[in-house]
Structures are given as structure tokens and as C-alpha cells.
């Protein structure tokens, strides 16, 4: 899954939509939409790659380009024809349309509820994408799937089969390997070429098994190989996320992340991982709620993107992902988290910095910095694994997730953020991290609040951020200056309040106290007038980045 830091496809983003006609014929209206994505060059340091890896890199970039073609076909059957007619239109309007089309990988504007911005496309992205017959209803699918023997039903509801009508109009499941063969065969050949060139055996195994999967439609062995791989050239390619299937979330869209492992950040992670039991032992909650023996944490890799393809290209850029999604692999092998550092850095420079310029008090603006920003994201990810998870309520064994029901995501995101702050403070106080990081840490955190809440408080991460902001504000952490309409950080109060809120949230989780969680969210996960004023002042600041990859010849 994409992490909430990277919003999934078609999420409603009312604050970020641009007013205007659904299919503008005025280039300047399109330019306003394009301006929400700041152009950004992304590349990585290739010095750790062997000569063989560099040759492999060229082949996997070519394979990633093929993912664009499959993905666009999966989105909408008219996509390829529309792209060629756009490419043939030299007018200023045609050029603006093509630029925005490439950002969205199709005619549907992701920041505007998936509405079409071009004539000749359906008014909005089809819910069924191109995975199911356009005239099929949900009920028809469900009746059909229920009538199938179990192995056939698994295909119908699985990740890797499209649903079509046969000659007599009956529904039938067709494997991706057959449906997309014209693209998967050349992609498999490129992966085999890369496997033969790379000097890393783990990567070679993944690439050859992935090539097999493209042709056999059995992805299991290659997903396992991806979990086990640890390579300077790190590749993720194939059908993964199911967001585009808005009917059922069953069908996986093709994408590719071609990345270089970031060894410096990977070392930093190893440093934090070694401290986790100490962090757990010092959580600001009752001793009985702490876990005296943490299990092995899920692996985390930090990488830099040098090329992407397919769904990864479309709209808001993914800055972290957690894969695979196949439950069988997750059960047997766990999952792996990948954090894309150069994407995080680009978002920091192009989005967070301008937000800080307008929402933070002038005396503190220049204290925000990328290092505490990224370190806090790492801490957030690690803290998801700490604190209460399996709990006992009234003698019954249960989980925090089950007890918190629909509140669990927002509450867990708030926990990871605030306890991430607390954890870094704990390590600063122990002398494990430099004291100089303290002030920038809290100031950068405050700027990040506005970035998250800007996406709305219906989504778990924004909702959790609003809760933290108001809770800490009420304890004097973020004094508001009505004259400038800006906020600043009172570091001493912020420190104290972050520790107290960490204890509060984790205690509610440990007790499985749904009513207490609901009361906290109802009270604090709101937008009060000063915050609204700050958000209103963010107009014109980009929402995200539009990457360009020099290593792919862009």
C-alpha cells in the first residue's frame, strides 16, 4: 500500500481543486492546474553501482516505460488513441493539454475528483477502470462470482485477472499474462537482460522470477524474492496497487520504481532500530502497557528514485510504500517498507518550504530543515511498530485496530507522529542525537502540520495532524500571532506536551477505549479559525511535484 503520506488515487481534495469548467479550452486555465505540480528533476548517486548494474539499469528503465502503456490501457480503453491525437496537436492548447495529460497519465484530473479535462473522454474516470466490462453492474459481478467454484472465484476476485464477456455475453476471468501479452512479453525479455547483467544475485533472482511471472501470471515466487532482495540497484516492477479499481479494489495496476539504495540513510535506520527496545521501555505509559520483548521489525529501505513507470507516474507522487499486498506473501514473509528520500526532499523544498514562509512566524521561518523533517518521517514509521497493538479488554484478547474501529487509522497516524517527536527528544536527551536538532525538529513539525491538514481532515493523516495541532496548541506549544496571522513554536512547552499526548493516545489504545478516542478526535481533530486563516493563505503554493528523470533521457 502507499503510505498516507502519499495520497492514493482520486482521493477527494476539495481545498486543492481549481475552480473552472470540467474540460477547459483555455490554455491559461490548464496552466493553473499544471502549476499545482512543481517541475522537479530527480536522480540518484550511481557510484555504488557495478558496471553490470549500470547496464541492468538501462534495461529496467526500458521495462518501466512499458508499464506506462499497460497502466494507461488499464485506466481507460481510449487512452492510447487519445494520446496519439494529442501528440499531433501543435497548438498552445494542445501542448498544455499534453503536459497535463502526462502528469495524470490520462484525461482525468486527479486533484479534481477524477473529472475529465479533455473532450472525448468519459466525464470522470470510470469506477470499473478497464478491468471489467463497461456495462457490468456490481450485482452482476457478485452473483457471478458467488456461482463459481473456489479456484475460479479466487481468479475473479484476485489481483491478476481482468473480467470480460465471452462470445455468449457471460462474464469470464482472463489472466493478465494473456490480456497484456503484447506488452508483458517484451517487458519480460528486458528483465531477463537486466538479470544477466547485474552483479547482485538477489536482484538477478527477483528480475528473472518477475519475468517468469509476467508470462505465467503466478507472482508468488517473485514477491518472495523481492522481500529477500537487498541490492544497490533496487527495482520494484509489476502489478501492485488496487486503488484504480473503484468498484471492488481487487485488480492491481502496473507500475515501476527504479531506485538506488541510499546507504547513508540505511545506516541511520540501523542506528534507530538498535534503540527501539530502549525506546519502548521508556514510553510515557504504565509499565504494564509496554512490550518487554519487541519482535523483529519489518524491514525498511531508504532509496532514491531514478525512474518510474505506470501508476507511480500518475498525479501525486508516492514518497513511501509498503509491499507486497498479496496476503499470502505477507503472512509467510511479512512486508517491506520503502521510503523514497529524493521525493521527500523535493516535496520539502517545493511545498513545505513555501508553506513555512507564509504560516510560520518570521522569527522562526529559517529554522526549518530537511534533515529533521526526514528523520521524523523515519521515526514515524518506526513508532508504528511500538506501543500497544495486541491488548486485553475485559479479559478478552483483541487488538487496538479492532477496538478503535473506524477511528483506528487517524488515531494510529496521530500516535506515530507525536510519539516520533517524543522518541527523537528521548534520544536527544540521552545524548544519542545532537541537541542542535531540537529546535528545528519542532519548528519543521509545525510547518508539516499545515502541509498535511491542507489535504483535508477526512483523510487519516490530516485528521490525526489536526488532533495533535489543537491538543498541543491548547497547552501553549504553538502561540498564534494574530497580527501576522502566523504561528511559532514554544519549544519548552511543545516538548512537554508531545510527551503528554504520546502517553494519552497510547493509554487510550492500551485500554481499547473507543469512547475516549472518539471524544479526543471530536474535540481536537477540527479546523479552528486561526488554522483556517493560515490554510486560506496557502493559495498558489504547489500541491506536489512533477518529476523529470535525466537518467531516463528526460
- Residues at the contact surface with Zn ion, assessed by CB under 5 A: 416
Which is nearer to Zn ion, 30 or 416 (by Cβ)? 416
* CB closer to Zn ion, 63 vs 416: 416
169: left (phi over 0), alpha (psi -120 to 50) or beta: left
Half-sphere exposure of 163 (CA within 13 A, CB side): 31
> Which residue number, 208 or 325, has a Cβ lying nearer to Zn ion?
325
Q: Minimum CB separation from Zn ion for residue 3, in Å? A: 6
Please state the closest distance from residue 371 (CB atom) to Zn ion, in A: 20
Q: Which of 62, 69, 308 is nearest to 183 (CA)?
A: 69
Q: Closest-CB residue for Zn ion?
A: 416
Given the complex with Zn ion, which of 43 and 409 has the nearer CB atom?
A: 409
> Are 549 and 346 a contacting pair, CB within 8 Å?
no
Shortest distance in whole angstroms from residue 381 CB to Zn ion: 7
- Distance, in Å, from the CA atom of 393 to the CA atom of 399, rounded to the nearest integer, reads 9
Residue 238 belongs to what H/E stretch?
strand 233-239
Longest dimension (CA), the chain: 73
Could you tell me the three cell numbers for 113?
475528483
What is the nearest approach in angstroms of Zn ion to the Cβ of residue 301?
A: 16
Q: Is the dihedral of CA 217, 221, 227, 232 positive or negative?
A: negative
Quickly tell me which residue has 497502466 as its cell: 71
Paired with 307 in beta bridges are 258
Residues 106 and 77 sit within 8 Å (Cβ to Cβ): no
* Residue 205 vs 317, nearer CB to Zn ion: 317
Nearest approach, Cβ of residue 528 and Zn ion (Å): 24
Name residues whose C-beta falls within 8 Å of residue 70's C-beta, 6 or more positions apart in sequence.
Answer: 180, 183, 184, 254, 310
Nearest distance in Å: CB 416, Zn ion? 5
Q: Which is nearer to Zn ion, 63 or 520 (CB)?
A: 520
Shortest Cβ 309–Zn ion spacing (Å) = 26
Q: Which is nearer to Zn ion, 416 or 472 (CB)?
A: 416
SS3 of 432-490: the string is: CCCHHHHHHHHHHHHHHHHHHHCCCCCCHHHHHHHHHHHHHHCCCCCCEECCCCEECCC
Rg of the Cα atoms in the chain = 24
By C-beta, is 460 or 551 nearer to Zn ion? 460
CB 532 within 8 A of CB 462: no
DSSP for 287-308, written as a single string: GGGS-SS--PPPPEEEEEEEEE
Cβ neighbours, 10 Å, residue 109? 28
For cell 519502548, what's the residue? 280
Q: Report the b/e string of 135-150 with b at 16+ CB within 10 A.
A: ebeeeebeebbeeeee
Q: Which is nearer to Zn ion, 416 or 521 (CB)?
A: 416
Nearer to Zn ion, 260 or 279 (CB): 279
In the complex, what is the shortest distance from the CB of residue 377 to Zn ion, in angstroms, rounded to a whole number?
Answer: 9
For residue 58, the minimal CB distance to Zn ion (Å) is 35
Beta carbon of residue 523, minimum distance to Zn ion (angstroms, whole number)? 22
Rank residues 306 and 416 by Cβ distance to Zn ion and give the closer one. 416
Contacts of 479 (CB under 8 A, 6+ apart): 487, 488, 490
Q: Which among 532, 550, 416 has a CA at the least distance from the CA of 480?
A: 532
Residue 506 CB partners (closer than 8 Å, separation 6+): 283, 284, 285, 289, 387, 388, 415, 419
As measured in angstroms, the least distance from the Cβ of 379 to Zn ion is: 11
Question: Which C-beta is closer to Zn ion: that of 194 or that of 416?
Answer: 416
* C-alpha cell belonging to residue 76: 481507460
Give the separation between CA 491 and CA 443, rounded to whole angstroms: 8
- Which residue number, 416 or 446, has a Cβ lying nearer to Zn ion? 416
Output the smallest distance, CB 380 to Zn ion, in A. Answer: 6
Least CB distance to Zn ion at residue 258 (A): 25
Amino acid at each position: 500500500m502507499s503510505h498516507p503520506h502519499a495520497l492514493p488515487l482520486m482521493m477527494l481534495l476539495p481545498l486543492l481543486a481549481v475552480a473552472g469548467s470540467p474540460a477547459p479550452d483555455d490554455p491559461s486555465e490548464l496552466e493553473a492546474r499544471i502549476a499545482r505540480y512543481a517541475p522537479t528533476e530527480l536522480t540518484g548517486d550511481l557510484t555504488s553501482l557495478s558496471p553490470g548494474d549500470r547496464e541492468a539499469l538501462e534495461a529496467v528503465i526500458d521495462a518501466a516505460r512499458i508499464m506506462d502503456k499497460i497502466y494507461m490501457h488499464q485506466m481507460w480503453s481510449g487512452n492510447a488513441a487519445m494520446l496519439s491525437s494529442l501528440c499531433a496537436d501543435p497548438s498552445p492548447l494542445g501542448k498544455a493539454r499534453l503536459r497535463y495529460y502526462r502528469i495524470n497519465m490520462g484525461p482525468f484530473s486527479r486533484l479534481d475528483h477524477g473529472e475529465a479535462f479533455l473532450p472525448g473522454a468519459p466525464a470522470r474516470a470510470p469506477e470499473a477502470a478497464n478491468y471489467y466490462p463497461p456495462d457490468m453492474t456490481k450485482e452482476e459481478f457478485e452473483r457471478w462470482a458467488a456461482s463459481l467454484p473456489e479456484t475460479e472465484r479466487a481468479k475473479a476476485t484476485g489481483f491478476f485477472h481482468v473480467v470480460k464477456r465471452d462470445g455468449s455475453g457471460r462474464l469470464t476471468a482472463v489472466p493478465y499474462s494473456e490480456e497484456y501479452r503484447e506488452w508483458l512479453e517484451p517487458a519480460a525479455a528486458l528483465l531477463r537482460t537486466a538479470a544477466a547483467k547485474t552483479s547482485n544475485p538477489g536482484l538477478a533472482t527477483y528480475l528473472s522470477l518477475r519475468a517468469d511471472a509476467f508470462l505465467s501470471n503466478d507472482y508468488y515466487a517473485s514477491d518472495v524474492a523481492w522481500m529477500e532482495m537487498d541490492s544497490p540497484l533496487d527495482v520494484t516492477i509489476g502489478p501492485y496497487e488496487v486503488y484504480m479499481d473503484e468498484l471492488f479494489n481487487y485488480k492491481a495496476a502496473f507500475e515501476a520504481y527504479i531506485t538506488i539504495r541510499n546507504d547513508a540513510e540505511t545506516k541511520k535506520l540501523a542506528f534507530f532500530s538498535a534503540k527501539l527496545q530502549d525506546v519502548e521501555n521508556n514510553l510515557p505509559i504504565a509499565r504494564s502497557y509496554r512490550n518487554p520483548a519487541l519482535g523483529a521489525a519489518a524491514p525498511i529501505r531508504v532509496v532514491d528514485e531514478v525512474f518510474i513507470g505506470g501508476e507511480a507516474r500518475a498525479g501525486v507522487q508516492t514518497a513511501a510504500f509498503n509491499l507486497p499486498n498479496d496476503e499470502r506473501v505477507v503472512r509467510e514473509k511479512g512486508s517491506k517498507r520503502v521510503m523514497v528520500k529524493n521525493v521527500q526532499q523535493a516535496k520539502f523544498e517545493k511545498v513545505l518550504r513555501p508553506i513555512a514562509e507564509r504560516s510560520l512566524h518570521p522569527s522562526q521561518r529559517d529554522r526549518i530543515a530537511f534533515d529533521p523533517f526526514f528523520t521524523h518521517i523515519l521515526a514515524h514509521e518506526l513508532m508504528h511498530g511500538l506501543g500497544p497493538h495486541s491488548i486485553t479488554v475485559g479479559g478478552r484478547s483483541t487488538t487496538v485496530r479492532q477496538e478503535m474501529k473506524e477511528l483506528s487509522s487517524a488515531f494510529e497516524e496521530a500516535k506515530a507522529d507525536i510519539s516520533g517527536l517524543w522518541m527523537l527528544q528521548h534520544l536527544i536527551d540521552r545524548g544519542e542525537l545532537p541537541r542542535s536538532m531540537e529546535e528545528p525538529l519542532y519548528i519543521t513539525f509545525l510547518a508539516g502540520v499545515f502541509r498535511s491538514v491542507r489535504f483535508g481532515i477526512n483523510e487519516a493523516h490530516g485528521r490525526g495532524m489536526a488532533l495533535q495541532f489543537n491538543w498541543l496548541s491548547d497547552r501553549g506549544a504553538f502561540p498564534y500571532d494574530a497580527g501576522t496571522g502566523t504561528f511559532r513554536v514554544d519549544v519548552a512547552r511543545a516538548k512537554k506536551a508531545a510527551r503528554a499526548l504520546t502517553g494519552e493516545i497510547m493509554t487510550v489504545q492500551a485500554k481499547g477505549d473507543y469512547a475516549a478516542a472518539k471524544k479526543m478526535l471530536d474535540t481536537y481533530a477540527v479546523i479552528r479559525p486561526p488554522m483556517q486563516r493560515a490554510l486560506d493563505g496557502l493559495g498558489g503554493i504547489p500541491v506536489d511535484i512533477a518529476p523529470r528523470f535525466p537518467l531516463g533521457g528526460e
